[in-house]
Amino acid sequence: MTKSSIKAASSLDTLFASATVVHRRNFLTAGAAAFGAAMVPAGATVAEAKQAAATAITEQDRQYMTQAIDLMRKAGVVEKTGGAFGAVIVRNGEVLSATGNSVLRDNDPSAHAEVNAIRAACKKVGAPNLRGATMYTSCECCPMCYATAYWARLDRIFYAASWTDYADLFDDSNIGADMKKPYAKRQVKIAQMMRGDAQKVWQEFRTLPDRARY
């Protein structure tokens, strides 16, 4: 066996070991994209190899993203329920939710496609977390949508358009910049009050054996 073939075999073993993306039994149907991701550079760390596997794009991924982009157009161009955003959440090959932005229809500034999708998926599975799931979103997540995905324990997010593709319409980067400022200088002013009263509730909550955990 040549050195190059040894490296290839080692890389494939690394990919197979990552249950997040490709299992051994599914490798032949994973497509060339997954195989390409398996060919990580020689000397790459285990973490780098896992990252390469976790972001490998398959034909199935493209189909889910196509669905998200269709929902994007439906929400923003056809039905005009809100901005042009769509999202699909999938776990173990099952579509848990597929939604568009509905800020205008629902008069709800939090009704972004990703938040709508996470809410619907959590309701479907009957739990406040989506471990093992992947979200396909037509556009890069805003801070609110990423935070919601973080709390939902999503494994991965794939996105199509970047913030810079629509910054003239929805400039999400402004939120990140604003959050870096001191409270007194933010667009929405923030001030603290009655901290002691709130701390008492936290002390009570902390002692509950059946307190909420998520």
CB 135 within 8 A of CB 89: yes
Sorted by sequence, the CB contacts under 8 Å of residue 194 that are 6+ apart come out as none
Q: Which two tokens stand for residue 210?
A: 């059946």
Distance between CA 138 and CA 81 in Å, rounded? Answer: 16
204 given a catalytic annotation:
no
Torsion angle (degrees, nearest 10) of CA 178, 181, 183, 186:
-40
Catalytic: which of 59, 79, 114, 204? 114
Distance between CA 101 and CA 110 in Å, rounded? Answer: 9
Q: Which two tokens stand for residue 176?
A: 């990140």
Q: Which of 17, 19, 41, 96 is nearest to 64 (CA)?
A: 96
Catalytic residue numbers? 114
